Structure 1
Amino acid sequence: MPPVFPEIWRLRLTISMEAVPVFEEVFERFAEAVTMFMEDRSGISDGDCDWFLEGFSRTPPERVAIVSALSAVAAANGMDAPALEIERLPNVDWVLENLRDFPPIAAGRFFVHGSHWQGRPPVGSFGIEIDAGTAFGSGEHATTRGCLLALDAIAKQGRRIRVLDLGSGSGILGIAAAKVWSAKVVCTDIDPAAVKVCAGNAANNGEAARITAVVSDGYRNRVVGEGRPYDLIFSNILARPLCRFAPDLAAHLAPGGLAVLSGLLERQERMVMANHEKQGLTLKRRVVIDGWATLVIGR
């Protein structure tokens, strides 16, 4: 009898880049995970292309409710409501599928690879073995690469002792920070399955003693509060949650500390920065890859 994997439904919209943040909010209400990517036919990442907004749910989506919400948001923004595609994904082992399509990735001095890869990391690099499993993050997405490049630059400026990885997914960023500085790292995710994957990856990379992985909705878990103030905070989530958590980030950041924000489109930078500037935080550095922005901010 073939193995049975959790049922997953995918919601999908094909829209313009400008419409992504408009309809992203709707998907956040109806899906457990939301992502977006572009199909760049020109090959130059100039934004003149189709964008795909996708949401994933472990319960059957309510089409009527979602279409109604999309129509309301579209009307409020003077747009046409996009066609909603709902697909029940086939019963396959998505972990195995992910591994087949997961080649090693280099980002600065970091070399991320799956356990299926049998080679040796380049001399002088920090090798990180990751199996994303049910957690987001195999290192291939532009936001994760942007964060690793930002971390590489920060690492050359001195040691960071206390690190928080908010929305850690598979734990790549927390593991990278632990390897660079032998730092104590708190990794959080709202998904218990992701936290379990993160803890497993930390152990596989010899960093279990330095990394504490906990379930947390934002900064609410007491472990997060007990570990503050943090010298470095990663927050690779989405633009709207980044804005919402800006006061919490400022309250948990040490004097002279830095935060690495990602999960936002380049056009969302102004909105995200405006919310953090209200907290006395300023932009120190930015990395843009394929239309995705990573921002390094601090006091």
Structure 2
Amino acid sequence: MPIVFPDIWHLRLIVAPEAVDAFEEVFDRFAESVTMFMEDKSGISDGDCLWHLEGYSRTPPDRAQITAALAAVAAATGHDLPALEVERLPNVDWVLENLRDFPPIDAGRFFVRGSHWDGKVPVGRTELLVDAGTAFGSGEHATTRGCLTMLDMLAKRRRFLHPLDLGSGSGILGIGMAKMWAVDVLATDIDPSAVKVCANNARMNGVGARFTSVVSDGYRNPALKKGKPFDIIVANILAKPLMRMAKDLAAHLAPDGVAVLSGLLDWQERMVMGAHEPQGLRLRQRLVIDGWATLLIGR
């Protein structure tokens, strides 16, 4: 009997940079997952570009309702009404399709590879072996590479003893910290399937005994309150959730601790820092890869 995978609907808009935030709010209401990427026609990130705003849903979207919401936003903001594309994705194993196109990735001292790859790991690199499963975070994304590179930079200055990987996905960042500093790591994700994948990946990398992976909506799981303060918090999520959780981050961060934030576009950096600076957190370092920013912040 053939394996049947869940139906997934794909929503897409193409909008100008100044309209991204307005229409993203509509997708946030109708899609379970929202992402975006830039189509840069000029070769510079602030030049002639368009943004592809994409959403994914496991329930059939109501095109008329979404279009009406988009029209209301367009009328209120003065932006042009973008054309909405809706398609039902083919019933295939997207994880397998992703793994076929998942090459090894170099990020600082880290070498991320899928279990399907049987090449030789370069000498002196810390290997991160990953089966992405149903969780986001193969390491190929610029934000994950940015976080790993930032962790590598931090390791040259200091050893951290009590890390938190918030929004862990497949667990790459938490596993990297567990391997690099030989410490216990708490990893959380809002998606139970991601938590299972994360725990499996930790075991596959030989750090399962010092790795705790739990379901948590932000900082709500009691394990975070019990475990705080953390001397390093890594949160590779999206700009708006990072902003909403700025106060919680400050409350869970040790006085001399630092946080690595990513999942935000370079032009969203000012908004994200605007939420964290009132909490006494300042920008210490930034790294931009393909238009995506990774920020190091601390008191």
Q: 1:259-270 counterparts in 2 under 5 A?
A: 259-270=259-270
Alignment deviations for residues 138-185 of structure 1 (CA, whole Å, 9 cap, x no partner): 111111111111111111111111111111111111011111101211
**Partner of 1:136 in structure 2?**
136
Distance 1:223 1:40 in 2: 43
Distance 2:121 2:42 in 1: 33
More divergent stretch after superposition (47-56 vs 261-270): 47-56
**Partner of 1:60 in structure 2?**
60
Shift of 1:43: 4.9
Distance 2:124 2:102 in 1: 22
Distance 1:205 1:92 in 2: 28
Distance 1:241 1:63 in 2: 26
More divergent stretch after superposition (44-53 vs 242-251): 44-53
**Partner of 1:16 in structure 2?**
16
**Partner of 1:121 in structure 2?**
121
Q: Which amino acid in structure 2 is aligned with residue 99 of structure 1?
A: L
Alignment deviations for residues 15-61 of structure 1 (CA, whole Å, 9 cap, x no partner): 12332222222212221111111233455555533321111111111
**Partner of 1:188 in structure 2?**
188
8 Å contact from structure 1 (residues 47, 291) kept in 2: no
Q: 1:218-297 counterparts in 2 under 5 A?
A: 218-297=218-297
Q: Which amino acid in structure 1 is aligned with residue 157 of structure 2?
A: Q
Unaligned runs of 5+ in 1: none
Q: 1:84-163 counterparts in 2 under 5 A?
A: 84-163=84-163
**Partner of 2:72 in structure 1?**
72
8 Å contact from structure 1 (residues 136, 170) kept in 2: yes
RMSD: 1.3
Distance 2:48 2:184 in 1: 43
Alignment deviations for residues 235-267 of structure 1 (CA, whole Å, 9 cap, x no partner): 111111111000000000001100011111111
How many residues align? The count is: 299
Distance 1:79 1:163 in 2: 43
Distance 1:131 1:41 in 2: 34
Q: Which amino acid in structure 1 is aligned with residue 278 of structure 2?
A: K
**Aligned with 1:209: secondary structure?**
helix
Q: TM-score, normalised by structure 1?
A: 0.96
Distance 1:184 1:74 in 2: 49
Shift of 1:91: 0.5
**Partner of 2:27 in structure 1?**
27
Distance 2:33 2:118 in 1: 31
8 Å contact from structure 1 (residues 161, 183) kept in 2: yes
Q: Which amino acid in structure 2 is aligned with residue 122 of structure 1?
A: P
Q: Which amino acid in structure 1 is aligned with residue 77 of structure 2?
A: N
Distance 2:53 2:47 in 1: 15
Q: Which amino acid in structure 1 is aligned with residue 74 of structure 2?
A: A
Unaligned runs of 5+ in 2: none
Distance 2:45 2:103 in 1: 22
Alignment deviations for residues 47-98 of structure 1 (CA, whole Å, 9 cap, x no partner): 5333211111111112222222222222232211211111110010111100
Shift of 1:201: 0.7
**Partner of 1:170 in structure 2?**
170
Q: Which amino acid in structure 1 is aligned with residue 19 of structure 2?
A: A
Alpha-carbon spacing, 1:174–1:111, altered in 2? closer, same or farther (3 Å): same
Q: Which amino acid in structure 2 is aligned with residue 141 of structure 1?
A: H
More divergent stretch after superposition (9-18 vs 254-263): 9-18
Distance 1:121 1:286 in 2: 28
Q: Which amino acid in structure 2 is aligned with residue 179 of structure 1?
A: K
Distance 2:147 2:21 in 1: 21
More divergent stretch after superposition (25-34 vs 287-296): 25-34
